[in-house]
Amino acid sequence: MEKRRLGQTDMYVNMVGLGCMGLSHASGTPVAREEAIHILQEAHHIGYDLYDTAECYTGIYPDGSISHNEEIVGEAVKNFRDEIVLCTKFGVTHKGNHLELDSSPQKIRESIEGSLKRLQTNYIDIYYQHRIDPQVEPEIVAGVMKELIQEGKIKAWGISEVNEDYLRRAHAICPVTVIQNRYSMMARWHEHLINVCQELGITYIAFSPLANGALTGAYHSQADFKDDKQDFRRNMPQYSETGMIKTNQLLKIVSELAKKYNATNAQISLAWMLSKFDNLIPIPGSRKIDRLASNFAAGNIHLSYEDIEIIDYQLEHMEFEVFGGH
């Protein structure tokens, strides 16, 4: 599989990365610790070499104890730590039904030490500002990142859910290696930022590249998730009655191409963005090892220019209700 460079660094990774969040957070009751560790280790055998987590990815086990995603990832990768690019994030705390944002220098310093401990490592390859903190200017955050790089605690940094102005201001102080924003066939509002990243030599990491599972075709309504209060998908608009009508219209097009390429809906969805942009890496996640393997194999599928045009033409004439939409 072709490797892609992360920004202007000497780090190169396979074309499909691994989003680890769903093992602990937002996709239902957390996977049992030992099972989650096994899944993450199997992912390495499959070929994944970019692992993405965050300090705020937590969930509650049936016994009431807390599942810390960073701790699980750290335990899983400790024997092959230097063979992967390990990414985590700071600046967000979940407070009930809202996010508390804090990217103050003091909080960043506290967060990096906590993450290093939970991840069982003495350095983080990519350290993300998880969300923009309106109380802290980008120049301040970038200045702290520059210090952490000089101290050897991180190799590079990135920003998640960033806009162009904030990105350019931060990049001018300390070069940004990656950004991580939502992107999928159903969520294309950040597409202009991919071109900005091309200009600046930054890699675009696409989270939720399968629209929180909608583009797999495996789910049919919000009822699929109603039994688990920790599964955020039960309230996502793409799984509402009207949302599923639009989702299924798109899946009809995707499934036709899947037949042509002998691929799954998910693989076509990932191959579409990989074929469109050479500075983009999607980070799908799954609790099932066979789906991890299938998603990873999408990096070996190359859609023709004509097929990309067909998809893009259809997308221009479709509107979707999707979580995180504008």
Q: CA-CA distance, 215 to 269, in Å (whole number)?
A: 7
Q: CA-CA distance, 132 to 224, in Å (whole number)?
A: 33
Structural domain contains residue 142:
yes
Structural domain contains residue 231:
no
Structural domain contains residue 67:
yes
pLDDT tens-digit readout, 52-82: 999 999 999 999 999 999 999 999 999 999 9
Q: Are the CB atoms for 153 and 185 separated by under 8 Å?
A: no
pLDDT exceeds 50 at position 326: no
Q: Would you please indicate which residues are annotated as catalytic (active-site) residues?
A: 57
Q: Are the CB atoms for 67 and 32 separated by under 8 Å?
A: no
> Binning pLDDT at 50, 70 and 90, where does residue 234 land?
low
pLDDT exceeds 90 at position 17: yes
pLDDT of residue 212: 83
Structural domain contains residue 147:
yes
pTM of the model: 0.94
pLDDT tens-digit readout, 169-217: 999 999 999 999 999 999 999 999 999 999 999 999 999 999 887 898 7
pLDDT exceeds 80 at position 31: yes
pLDDT tens-digit readout, 275-325: 999 999 999 999 999 999 999 999 999 999 999 999 999 999 988 877 765
What DSSP element (H or E) covers 129? strand 124-129
Total number of residues shown for the chain:
326
Structural domain contains residue 262:
no
Structural domain contains residue 26:
yes
Question: How much is the average pLDDT of 102-111?
Answer: 98
Q: CA-CA distance, 210 to 20, in Å (whole number)?
A: 14
> Binning pLDDT at 50, 70 and 90, where does residue 225 land?
low
| Residue 16 belongs to domain with CATH number | 3.20.20.100
Structural domain contains residue 228:
no
Structural domain contains residue 234:
no
Q: Are the CB atoms for 91 and 57 separated by under 8 Å?
A: no
> Binning pLDDT at 50, 70 and 90, where does residue 32 land?
very high
Helix ranges restricted to H, the chain: 33-46, 69-77, 105-118, 138-150, 164-173, 191-200, 241-261, 265-276, 289-297, 305-316
Residue 319 corresponds to which tokens in the numbers above?
A: 């509107």
What DSSP element (H or E) covers 90? strand 85-90
Percentage of the chain lying above the pLDDT 90 cut: 81
Domain residue limits at 46: 3-219+273-302
Our count of domains for the chain comes to 1
